[in-house]
C-alpha cells in the first residue's frame, strides 16, 4: 500500500481533524480496486472516533495498521467482501461498536475478546462456524448479532455476560440452548429461529426481563410447544416452560428424572376415566393453539386495487436517490397499550440492521389521512427545500443540515454516548449533492427528506388508522423492496400481538395511558396492503408495490392473500 496517492476524502478528514469518516459505494469501491486496497493514509487518522466503510465489494482485507486508530469507538465494515479481520483489532481498546456483517468471514480472531469496552457486536451474514472463547472478557457486551452464519453452539462463557440484553442468532445450525441461559439476567430479546434445536430449556423462564423470543423454524420434540413457538407468543411460551411443560431442555435433568421416576407411578394410579379426561383437555388446549396459528396465517392481506395510489418520480433523482417503493397499510392498531412505541422501536431496529444504519435505505411513515395526493418524489436545491422536521419548526434544508452539524459538534465536545447521535451519522450521505431528494404532496408541502427526516405534519400517532409507507435508496430497487417486505412482516406480527394481548395489557397495566378501545377496522389483527404505483414524469410505470413477486418471504405463519 506504500506509495499510494492519498484520497481527497482522507486528506479532507486529516486537514479538518475530523472525528468521523464514511466511505461507501461505487466511487470508493473503484478506488479500492485500482489501488489494491484502502489508501494507507487512512490508518494515520488518529483522531477518528467513527469509521464506516461499506458496500465495497473490492475490499477483501483490512491492514493490521488499523491498530493505530486507538480513539475509534465505532467501526462499521459491513457489506464488503472481507475474508478476515486482523488480530491487531484487539488493540482498539476504546471500541464500543463493531459491525462486520455481510462479508465473507469464516472466523473471528480471538483478539476480539480483548475489547473490554465493546457493547455491540454484529457479525451477521457471514460464514462463521464458531465464536471465540473468552467473550466473557467483553464485560460490557449488551447486543450480539450472529444471524445467518454456520454456528453450531454458543461458547460456554457467553452465559457469563451480565449485561447481555439482545442475542440475535437466527439461521444458524445451533443444536442446544444451555440451561445456563438463566444466568443472563439482563436478557430482553432472544432470536434462535431457524436453527436445529430440539428442546427449549425450562430455565429460560427464569430470565425475568425477557420480552421477545423467537424459536420459529426449529423442530422441537414437544409438538405442542412447537405450535406455540410458531405463534410467536412469548408470554405463553414462558408460562408453559415455567409450569414444567414438555418443553424442558437438557439443562433440566433433575426435572426429567422426577418425571421418569414419579410420572410412571402417578400414571398407574390414574383411572381410565381420568386418563380420558386428561387426553381430552390436552386436545382442547392444542386446538386452541391451532386456532391461534390459523388467525396468524391470515394476518396479512394484500389488496390488488386497480385504483392504487400513484407517486410521480422526477428525472433529476437519477443521480441523487433514484429508488423508491411505497404502499398504503390499513388495519394497524396503535391505540392499545404501547403498540405505537413497539412499532417505532421495530422501525429503528430495521434502520440499524437491514438498512445499514440508513446508509443502504431509509424508511418513512406517514398518517395517510394527513396526506393530500397526488405525490411527487422530487429533487430540489438545498435552499429551495423547506420542511417542518420532526420536533422542529419549518426551515430550509440548508438550515436543517447546519443545525444538525452544530448539534453533532456539541455532542462530540460533550462526549455523549458514542460521540455522535444516530441521526448525525449519515449527514455525510448528502455531502457534495447539488440536489436533495424529497417527497412532496399536492400542496407542495415536503413530507419527507430522506435520509434525514420526515415532516411533523404527517407524523403518525395513536389515532392513525391508515399509513403511507415509503422506502428510498441510492443503492438499488431490490433493497427498497426487501426493506418494505421486512417492515410489513414486522407490522403484521406486531398487530397480531396487539390484537391478542390488548385486554391482557390493559388489566396488567402495560399501557402508560388509559386504555383506548380499538377501532372497528382493527378488531381482527389483519392488515390490508394497498398497492402504490411509481411513474415517470410522462406517466409511464416504473414500479408497483407490492407486485406478485414481492412478499415472497419464507415465514411459516404468514399467508399473503391476493
Q: Which domains does the chain have, with CATH numbers?
A: 300-561 (3.50.40.10)
Residue 338 or residue 552, greater confidence:
338
Residue 393 C-alpha cell reads as 419548526
Average pLDDT of the residues in 426-450:
87
The answer to whether the beta carbons of residues 147 and 126 sit under 8 Å apart is no
Confidence of residue 556 (pLDDT cuts 50, 70, 90): very low
- Beta strands 386-387 and 395-396 are antiparallel
For residue 407, is pLDDT > 90? no
Average pLDDT of the residues in 360-383:
92
Give residues with Cβ within 8 angstroms of 140, minimum separation 6.
96, 116, 117, 118, 119, 163
Average pLDDT of the residues in 430-452:
90
Tell me: the pLDDT tens digits for 47-85?
Answer: 999 898 988 999 999 999 999 999 999 999 998 999 999
Average pLDDT of the residues in 535-547:
86
Q: What is the pLDDT of residue 522?
A: 44
Q: What is the pLDDT of residue 253?
A: 41
Flag the least confident range among 296-305, 319-328, 399-408, 491-500: 296-305
Distance CA 126, CA 147 (A): 8
Average pLDDT of the residues in 310-339:
89
The answer to whether the beta carbons of residues 37 and 63 sit under 8 Å apart is yes
How many CA atoms lie within 13 Å of 246's alpha carbon, on the beta-carbon side?
12
For residue 2, is pLDDT > 70? no
Q: What is the pLDDT of residue 159?
A: 93
Average pLDDT of the residues in 386-394:
91
The mean pLDDT of the chain is: 81
For residue 535, is pLDDT > 80? yes
Percent of the chain at pLDDT exceeding 90: 43
Between the ranges 197-211, 395-409, 493-507, where is the mean pLDDT highest? 197-211
For residue 255, is pLDDT > 50? no
Q: What are φ and ψ of residue 307, in 5° steps?
A: -100, 40
Cα-to-chain-centroid distance, residue 100: 15
Distance CA 254, CA 203 (A): 12
CA dihedral of 164, 170, 174, 178, whole degrees rounded to 10: 30
For residue 344, is pLDDT > 50? yes
Q: What is the pLDDT of residue 553?
A: 61
Rounded to 10°, the helix 223-230/234-242 angle is 150
Distance CA 406, CA 401 (A): 9
Distance CA 457, CA 453 (A): 12
For residue 512, is pLDDT > 50? no
CA dihedral of 6, 7, 8, 9, whole degrees rounded to 10: -130
For residue 414, is pLDDT > 50? yes
Q: Cα angle vertex 80, ends 76, 85, to 5°?
A: 65
Q: For the full predicted model, state whether its pTM sits above 0.85.
A: no
Average pLDDT of the residues in 26-45:
90
Distance CA 515, CA 507 (A): 9
Residue 469 C-alpha cell reads as 409507507
Confidence of residue 278 (pLDDT cuts 50, 70, 90): low
The answer to whether the beta carbons of residues 494 and 502 sit under 8 Å apart is no
Q: What is the pLDDT of residue 450?
A: 92
In DSSP terms, 436 is beta-bridged to 380
Confidence of residue 331 (pLDDT cuts 50, 70, 90): confident
Q: Write a three-state SS string for 247-289.
A: CCCCCCHHHHHHHHHHHHHHHHHCCHHHHHHHHHHHHHHHHHH
For residue 194, is pLDDT > 80? yes
The answer to whether the beta carbons of residues 174 and 194 sit under 8 Å apart is no
Q: Cα angle vertex 395, ends 389, 397, to 5°?
A: 85
Q: What is the pLDDT of residue 489?
A: 85
Residue 290 C-alpha cell reads as 391451532
Tell me: the pLDDT tens digits for 85-143?
Answer: 999 999 999 999 999 999 999 999 999 999 999 999 999 999 999 999 999 999 999 99
- Beta strands 466-473 and 362-367 are antiparallel
Residue 138 C-alpha cell reads as 467483553
Q: What is the pLDDT of residue 405?
A: 83
Q: What is the pLDDT of residue 91?
A: 95
Percent of the chain at pLDDT exceeding 70: 78
Distance CA 236, CA 75 (A): 39
Flag the least confident range among 55-69, 317-331, 524-538, 547-561: 547-561
Confidence of residue 298 (pLDDT cuts 50, 70, 90): very low
Flag the least confident range among 309-318, 463-472, 473-482, 502-511: 502-511
Q: Write a three-state SS string for 417-465.
A: CCCCCCHHHHHHHHCCCCCEEEEECCCCCEEEECCCEEEHHHCCCCCCC
Residue 75 or residue 24, greater confidence:
75
For residue 520, is pLDDT > 50? no
Reference 224, options 300, 281, 267, 296; nearest CA is 281
Amino acid at each position: 500500500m506504500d506509495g499510494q496517492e492519498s484520497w481527497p476524502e482522507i486528506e479532507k478528514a486529516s486537514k479538518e481533524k475530523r472525528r468521523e469518516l464514511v466511505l461507501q459505494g461505487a466511487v470508493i469501491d473503484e478506488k479500492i480496486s485500482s489501488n489494491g486496497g484502502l489508501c494507507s493514509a487512512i490508518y494515520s487518522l488518529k483522531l477518528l472516533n467513527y469509521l464506516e466503510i461499506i458496500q465495497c465489494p473490492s475490499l477483501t482485507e483490512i491492514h493490521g495498521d488499523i491498530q493505530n486508530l486507538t480513539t475509534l469507538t465505532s467501526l462499521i465494515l459491513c457489506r464488503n467482501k472481507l475474508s478476515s479481520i486482523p488480530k491487531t483489532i484487539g488493540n482498539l481498546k476504546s471500541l464500543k461498536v463493531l459491525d462486520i456483517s455481510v462479508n465473507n468471514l469464516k472466523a473471528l480472531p480471538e483478539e476480539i475478546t480483548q475489547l473490554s469496552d465493546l457493547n455491540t457486536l454484529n457479525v451477521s451474514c457471514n460464514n462463521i462456524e464458531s465464536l471465540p472463547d473468552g467473550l466473557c472478557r467483553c464485560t460490557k457486551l449488551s447486543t450480539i448479532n450472529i444471524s445467518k452464519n454456520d454456528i453450531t453452539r454458543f461458547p460456554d462463557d457467553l452465559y457469563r455476560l451480565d449485561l447481555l440484553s439482545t442475542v440475535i442468532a437466527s439461521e444458524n445450525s445451533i443444536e442446544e440452548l444451555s440451561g445456563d441461559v438463566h444466568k443472563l439476567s439482563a436478557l430482553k430479546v432472544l432470536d434462535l429461529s431457524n436453527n436445529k434445536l430440539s428442546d427449549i430449556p425450562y430455565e429460560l423462564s427464569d430470565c425475568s426481563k425477557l420480552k421477545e423470543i423467537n424459536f420459529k423454524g426449529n423442530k422441537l420434540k414437544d409438538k405442542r410447544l412447537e405450535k406455540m413457538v410458531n405463534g410467536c407468543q412469548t408470554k405463553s411460551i414462558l408460562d408453559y416452560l415455567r409450569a414444567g411443560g414438555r418443553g424442558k431442555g437438557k439443562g433440566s435433568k433433575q426435572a426429567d428424572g422426577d418425571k421418569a421416576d414419579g410420572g410412571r407411578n402417578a400414571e398407574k394410579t390414574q383411572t381410565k376415566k381420568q386418563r380420558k379426561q386428561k387426553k381430552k383437555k390436552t386436545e382442547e388446549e392444542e386446538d386452541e393453539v391451532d386456532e391461534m396459528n390459523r388467525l396468524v396465517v391470515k394476518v396479512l392481506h394484500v389488496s390488488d386495487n386497480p385504483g392504487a395510489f400513484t407517486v410521480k418520480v422526477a428525472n433529476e433523482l437519477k443521480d441523487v436517490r433514484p429508488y423508491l417503493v411505497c404502499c398504503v397499510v390499513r388495519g394497524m392498531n396503535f391505540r392499545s397499550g404501547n403498540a405505537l412505541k413497539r412499532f417505532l422501536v421495530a422501525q429503528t431496529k430495521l434502520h440499524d440492521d437491514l438498512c445499514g444504519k440508513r446508509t443502504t435505505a431509509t424508511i418513512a411513515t406517514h398518517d395517510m389521512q394527513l396526506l393530500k395526493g397526488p405525490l411527487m418524489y422530487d429533487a430540489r436545491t438545498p435552499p429551495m427545500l423547506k420542511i417542518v422536521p420532526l420536533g422542529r419548526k419549518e426551515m430550509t434544508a440548508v438550515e436543517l443540515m447546519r443545525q444538525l452539524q452544530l448539534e453533532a459538534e456539541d455532542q462530540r465536545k460533550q462526549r455523549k454516548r458514542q460521540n455522535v447521535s444516530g441521526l448525525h451519522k449519515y449527514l455525510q450521505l448528502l455531502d457534495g449533492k447539488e440536489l436533495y431528494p424529497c417527497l412532496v404532496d399536492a400542496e407542495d408541502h415536503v413530507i419527507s427528506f430522506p435520509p434525514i427526516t420526515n415532516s411533523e405534519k404527517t407524523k403518525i400517532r395513536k389515532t392513525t388508522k391508515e399509513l403511507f409507507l415509503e422506502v428510498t435508496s441510492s443503492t438499488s430497487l431490490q433493497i427498497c423492496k426487501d426493506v418494505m417486505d421486512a417492515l410489513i412482516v414486522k407490522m403484521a406480527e406486531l398487530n397480531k400481538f396487539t390484537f391478542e394481548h390488548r385486554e391482557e395489557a390493559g388489566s396488567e397495566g402495560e399501557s402508560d395511558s388509559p386504555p383506548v378501545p380499538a377501532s372497528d377496522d382493527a378488531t381482527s389483527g389483519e392488515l390490508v396492503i394497498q398497492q402504490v404505483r411509481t411513474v415517470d414524469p410522462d406517466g409511464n410505470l416504473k414500479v408497483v408495490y407490492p407486485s406478485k413477486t414481492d412478499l415472497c418471504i419464507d415465514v411459516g405463519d404468514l399467508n399473503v392473500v391476493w
